[in-house]
Amino acid sequence: MTPGPSSEGRVLTLDAGSSSLHFTLFGTDGTKIAGHDSSEAPGPDTIESLRGFLATLPAPAVVGHRLVHGGPHLTEHTLIDGRVRALLEEVTSLAPLHLPPALTVVDAARELLPDVPHVACFDTAFHRELPAAAQRYAVPEKWRIQYGLRRYGFHGLSYAWALERTAEVLDRPAHTFQAVLVHLGGGCSACAVREGRSVDTTMGLTPLEGLVMSRRSGSVDPGALLWLQSHHGLTEREISDALHRRSGLLGLSGLSGDTRDLVRARAGGHAGAEGALAAFVHSCGRNIAAMAASLERLDALVFTGEIGEDQPEVREEVCLRLRVLGLRGGLSVPTERELREQGALRIDRPGTGVPVIVVATGETQQIAAETRRFLPRPAKHALGPNRPPNEGG
């Protein structure tokens, strides 16, 4: 399938997760033309699903792919060619739940749309300028230099989108304020932003470190993992499976990794749900406070991601734990429609503490925005006299 002459400006975004797949086609003006969402991981039938999605739609001019990890060599969003595809294959072990299914989608899309540029948009790119003190692990030099052990950080596309929406709410350019951004979803992390740049973040070499997550453990004493191996005979595969799939809120509650289920169960007296939510809120609070320590001041706390956007109980309880940072409770609860229409809303009581902002999740829109930058610019001679180029895309 190749783009026709009417494809100019349309962007197809492909977002593959460990257990989900999202196709979205955006028009020249950035509006959504069509979308397809699946709760199943990409697999052998992905190419047929994508073929069916594209069959009745106008052809895209460019395709943007969300890639969780770029590894040490791919630190900025980039066009996918043979070299880039090979480098991505080399780093799949750093994000084993995310990169293999994403590469399945990359290969399917490149086969179906061979004459269209394909762009890799990396979650790690937002954190590429982390200061050395935040990036380095305190491990032997050989591990850092030869093996490349370092902090990368993730959820960068979400953070880039949330940062710009926060700037709009505060009516200040992004480079003029300092904030902690928190992405709470299936994966969870926090990020300190100063002068528009990430200066610290909770996820590390892989998306497993940091906050308690839906099914992922977050940070665990590395000595405990060595102990499980040496004293209880657990294999690397058993430990990896448990930390990635059977821990987090699910492991704590024994019930669910979904905060909506847990909030309902807690109201009904379920002790496991109550304990899991308490641990989750504690984890959020301590990690937000750690991120604030990398700032000179806290101008805003920003929630995004599915939980950050949809779970007012979590937002309220996290802020109540952070009074030491000037945060307060009593947050307003916008409706889903209000948030979707506005994109971002301030939800704290004005004059009572640090501004608290909730941002509708915008990873897909950010992929489209980053991908659109790779569209060829119109030739100047085709614009006509005294007519400026269209910078808006």
Residue found under tokens 């030099």: 141
Residue 363: CB atoms within 10 A of its CB come to 25
**CA separation for the pair 145, 260 (Å, rounded):** 43
Cite the active site residues. Answer: 123
**CA separation for the pair 380, 44 (Å, rounded):** 44
Task: Name which of 23, 11, 32, 41 is nearest 101 in CA terms.
Answer: 41
Task: Name which of 297, 305, 317 is nearest 360 in CA terms.
Answer: 305
Which tokens is 232 given?
């209880």
**CA separation for the pair 107, 193 (Å, rounded):** 34
**CA separation for the pair 121, 53 (Å, rounded):** 21
Contact status, residue 78 vs residue 88, Cβ threshold 8 Å: no
Contact status, residue 22 vs residue 34, Cβ threshold 8 Å: no
Q: For residue 15, give the 3-state DSSP assignment.
A: strand
**CA separation for the pair 25, 34 (Å, rounded):** 5
Contact status, residue 205 vs residue 152, Cβ threshold 8 Å: yes
Task: Name which of 245, 190, 247 is nearest 224 in CA terms.
Answer: 247
**CA separation for the pair 51, 360 (Å, rounded):** 29
Residue found under tokens 């939980």: 307
